[in-house]
Structure 1
């Protein structure tokens, strides 16, 4: 009897470390007994008198009660779906009764303390860790800080003001206690329920089959207390209100829940793929046979070893060996200052400090005029102001490197059991799981300075991924060759040899980069000649920007490109932020060919591939009219058969002709 990944027992079952395999008595072939390897006593299993099926008999029950108890069976289909297994209500399975798995199922017998399904007690409401009674008031402290300060200052720090402040603190703790008592979560059938009930009852239901990923993060205080935040991604377009969050489960419970939820998705995928005769995750019609050892054959195109076993703490039950694609070396932290997001961090901190000063000024009886006077005094001391600016400039690379390390410390990208798992963070550790069969490509992003240093970042293009701007990150700022190599192994290689765009695209890039500043120069010069010479202060910078627009426009033109290699299409554009999207052909769901009035005069158009993933569409800008249609027809020839001539369909470059529709 062979086992598929769908036959795996759900992770998180109690006593998972024991080997409780059914072993038959040599003298009585019809019986089976679960015997752990360490020799401890196990529930007795014997043939039922009426049906002959295996039945578990706990030792602490009377013989007459044991004779009439019904076993709980799990069929080949696994526990993830109701079809293929006996329909049995949870009330029919007595708590404390062992779970019996027939010989054709997941060859294991486990004694469980309650009714278990998916490795969790089914229908039993569970609460968050009591430690949230400490974390929740601390999380509410920033919102309480200003009111508390106002109460103390308005009360003149009198005993009464301290009493009211203490009442506010006690109230926040009581509020956290009420939230903890009234919030529960549980797995019922094929869904996860998050309930909150006090005066009214609110239940959020998340079907397990809709779960796209499970993120686990540990902020500093949570890490200190041994708890974590588990966030469930259902592909709700980044709307957190439509997703589930368990803020305050223990780390062990978070790992177990993550393993169970992702195992369920993997089991469904495996069964569906086996029904189609395909190997999960490959997308090809290859045999999905699994030999007796529980491994996929080497010819299947899947990883060499795929043990059919599930264990706690792994995303889908260790059905494939873990593979580490990338670990960020510590010496690469020096790349942080080369990224604009980290380089400008000191200015962001300074702006935040100024904002807090204006916001808290009234609470601490500080007039806004005091801040203005301080700024005027600093402006009147140019040497001191220059020193402050020099310190700020010198702090930019240092702070940039620190922030890069805080966010990307020990960044690790690994593949395990059909998922890409990215872990990162020094203060707040975060783990994001992306289902590989939903990955449709990747996006390579390079800033202007990063390009000069041959650095890049990568994001995954994933279907049904909420908040993909932060969750879809595959690699931080690292050498470009490393990005291409890692992404090529994890997802697929990018097509090489981008096709250049026509000369009209270069003229348009130069016009758009230079002409607006020339208009400003002309207007400012006219104003300076007619009214005041102060307008020259505007005309001079605009003239400099117009000159800088020439190399910028040429660079934007050189960045344009598109190609298709028979499997993936790629489009690229941008200069200050150059982005190259690589998308699988099967992800394209439509095309948009658009032309503005200026584009029609130049003989170019914009071809946008509609994709049900990522940003929803990726465009090739200012492509020749004939070449643009031919590019779309090359990727999806059936859709454009009536618009493209045979000559255009045979080649992807050069001159092509349009046929009559």
Structure 2
């Protein structure tokens, strides 16, 4: 495949259909409903039409000027009209080859291939993407670029910030062996319809509802519907008034947003499967998912460093848990969340799947965590009291200036017990342990996080203490690794325990500094 190749020409027909569909709303509003083309209310529909046509035209130009080839050492792509770009990736630096199929691509028998090589997202780099190739070509590229004749990925140095890939996630099902196109697969989880309840209650429900409502407002306005007049009628004296209108709006937005997130769960995770499959360089942790847009992500087990379980505080009573792997080669900042190996679901399923992904014996997620000293609780209570006092002083100053009424000082009085309870909850979340080849660290108030990290992956240990920690006999231990977020913290350990934990977390790193001093050595 060393000759230069084009993207598949069928993408031209896909773009033609896309441009026609983007014109339909504006054409319908003008031809069927008789909306004046010069009316200001029509501009959102015209903007949609313009975006669709220009996007389709841009895709056609991109197809005409894009070439790619695979050589024994490189993957190369040339693209651009006024500014030509020639990008290449060494094949031995390739970390992921993911295949994505949006609805319009699937209908046309096309796929998008994303080739990642551990790019730095902060530098504005992204995976090399081939949009679009045939299904057979996509499968051929994935097999070719993950072949064993390229240098093993585990022999290449890790990069601290990984590359974009697809998303991943899944549900609860008994693990078992299956045979698929890629050979025997050990299935850990499949799509669970009942899990939508874990994914529909969060703040994004309101963000989703407001966004859709704003778009619906402009769409209805374009068709002559007076939405503003309807709302004004509710607020007026003849209606239900401001208060009940606000209550109704909050309830309606919450219900609509929750329903939207539930629907999004089915669309995003339909057909989900999490399995461990054999690869040319070892085994891969593979996820497949998606109804309209399908996505397949392969994670090399040689690059796996641990797992992370997160439990949001407001829904912790439901056992809601997010499950992610700590690995190199995948971006943490991608909207597709390639490090997630399960959708948000029950804790019992997250523990089972995370343990299967680790494959460690004993299971570090079942280890008994050591509690932190009472001084850690006193530190949190002190910060809660100080924050409440600062809020009270600010409100008092504003009340003295006549900016707010004096009664608002009661807000600070009510805030104090809430802050103290939060401090206790944060303290109860603390815990740490060493379990076999892994270290375990748990902390967090708003989002309690349990991190399980392979000790051999720790590259740096940092032990620090603030003035308050020094007075309380506490220290914070941070472990750095070239995977995940790059570093994980174990706060407020007892001073003597902190050094023992740090030494066990990364054997050999602190040894020279903890060596007993000889009698004849100078002080």
Please tell me the TM-score bracket, short chain as reference: 0.7 to 0.9
Counterpart mapping for 1:566-577 below 5 A: 566-577=436-447
Q: Give the Cα–Cα distance (whole angstroms) in 2 for the partners of residues 524 and 333 of structure 1.
A: 42
The residue that corresponds to 2:65 in the other structure is 182
Alignment of 1:59-458 (within 5 A): 122-136=1-15, 175-196=58-79, 198=81, 201-238=84-121, 241-264=125-148, 268-269=151-152, 314=182, 318=183, 321-338=184-201, 340=202, 344-353=203-212, 380-417=241-278, 418-458=283-323
Please state whether the residue corresponding to 1:471 is helix, strand or coil: coil
Q: Secondary structure at the match of 2:152?
A: helix
Deviation for aligned residue 1:178: 2.8
| CA distance in structure 2 between the partners assigned to 1:271 and 1:581 by the alignment | 22
- Deviation of the 1:544 alpha carbon: 2.4
Report the Cα distance in structure 1 between the residues aligned to 2:302 and 2:333, rounded to whole angstroms.
16
**Bigger mean CA deviation after superposition, 457-466 or 486-495:** 486-495
Q: CA deviation at 1:446?
A: 0.8
Matched with 2:368 is 497
Q: Taking structure 2 as the reference length, what is the TM-score of the superposition?
A: 0.78
1:325 positional shift: 1.4
Which residue of 2 is the match for residue 295 of structure 1? none
Per-residue CA deviation, residues 207-256 of structure 1 (Å, 9 max, x unaligned), is 11111112222222222222122111111133673420111212222122
Whether the 8 Å contact between 1:606 and 1:623 is mirrored in structure 2 is: yes
Instruction: Name the SS for the 2:211 alignment partner.
Output: helix
Distance 1:545 1:218, change over 3 A: farther
The alignment partner of 1:627 has SS state of helix
Q: Aligned-pair distance for 1:169? A: 8.0
CA contact (8 A) 1:643 1:660 kept: no
Q: How many residues align?
A: 477
Report whether the alignment pairs 1:481 with 2:348: yes
Task: Summarize the Cα distance change of 1:534–1:137 in structure 2 as closer, same or farther, 3 Å threshold.
Answer: farther
- Once the two structures are TM-superposed, the CA of residue 556 in structure 1 deviates from its matched residue by 0.5
1:50-93 CA-to-partner distances (Å, cap 9, x unmatched) read: xxxxxxxxxxxxxxxxxxxxxxxxxxxxxxxxxxxxxxxxxxxx
Structure 2, unaligned stretches of length 5 or more?
41-47, 157-176
Instruction: State how 1:488-637 maps to structure 2 within 5 Å.
Output: 488-491=355-358, 492=360, 493-495=363-365, 496-525=367-396, 528=399, 531=402, 534-536=405-407, 538-637=408-507
Q: Once the two structures are superposed, what CA deviation does each residue of 1:340-360 show, in whole Å capped at 9, x if it has no partner?
A: 2xxx34311343256658999
**Are the equivalent residues in 2 in contact too, given 1:146–1:363 (CA < 8 A)?**
no
8 Å contact from structure 2 (residues 19, 49) kept in 1: no
User: How far apart are the structure 2 equivalents of 1:594 and 1:250?
Assistant: 54
Distance 1:172 1:465, change over 3 A: closer
1:95 corresponds in structure 2 to none
Give the Cα–Cα distance (whole angstroms) in 1 for the partners of residues 432 and 109 of structure 2: 49
Give CA-to-partner distance per residue, 1:507-549, whole Å, 9 cap, x none: 122222343123323443565478577242x323333232111
Separation in 1 of the partners of 2:264 and 2:273?
A: 17
Distance 1:381 1:638 in 2: 66
Q: Which runs of 5+ in 1 are unaligned?
A: 1-121, 158-164, 274-304, 647-658
Aligned partner of residue 462 in structure 2, secondary structure: strand
Alpha-carbon distance between aligned partners in 1 of 2:50 and 2:223, rounded to the nearest angstrom: 21
Give the alignment's TM-score, normalised by structure 1: 0.63
8 A Cα contact 1:208 1:264, kept in partner: no
Query: Following the alignment from structure 1 to structure 2, what is the Cα–Cα distance between the partners of residues 271 and 603?
Result: 41
Q: State the distance in 2 between where 1:609 and 1:176 align.
A: 45
CA distance in 2, matches of 1:486, 1:373: 52
* Local SS of the residue matching 2:105: helix
**Who is 2:162 aligned against?**
none
Q: Distance in 1 between matches of 2:409 and 2:456?
A: 52
Other-structure match for 2:169: none
Question: RMSD of the TM alignment (CA)?
Answer: 4.3
Alpha carbons 2:286, 2:299 under 8 Å: kept: yes
Structure 2: distance between partners of 1:326 and 1:168: 39
1:14 aligned partner: none
Is the CA contact 1:559–1:573 (under 8 Å) kept in the aligned structure 2? yes
User: Which of 310, 314, 325 is matched with 1:460 structurally?
Assistant: 325
Higher RCO structure, 1 or 2 (CA under 8 Å, sep 6+): 2
Q: Could you say if the C-alpha distance between residues 357 and 488 of structure 1 is closer, same or farther in structure 2, counting changes exceeding 3 Å? A: closer
Q: Compare CA radii of gyration and give the structure with the larger one.
A: 1
Distance 1:375 1:639, change over 3 A: farther
- Alpha carbons of 1:252 and 1:370: their partners in 2 closer, same or farther (altered >3 Å)? same
Quick one: distance in 2 between partners of 1:328 and 1:354?
Answer: 30
How far has the Cα of 1:574 moved from its partner? 0.5
Structure 1 residue aligned with 2:167:
none
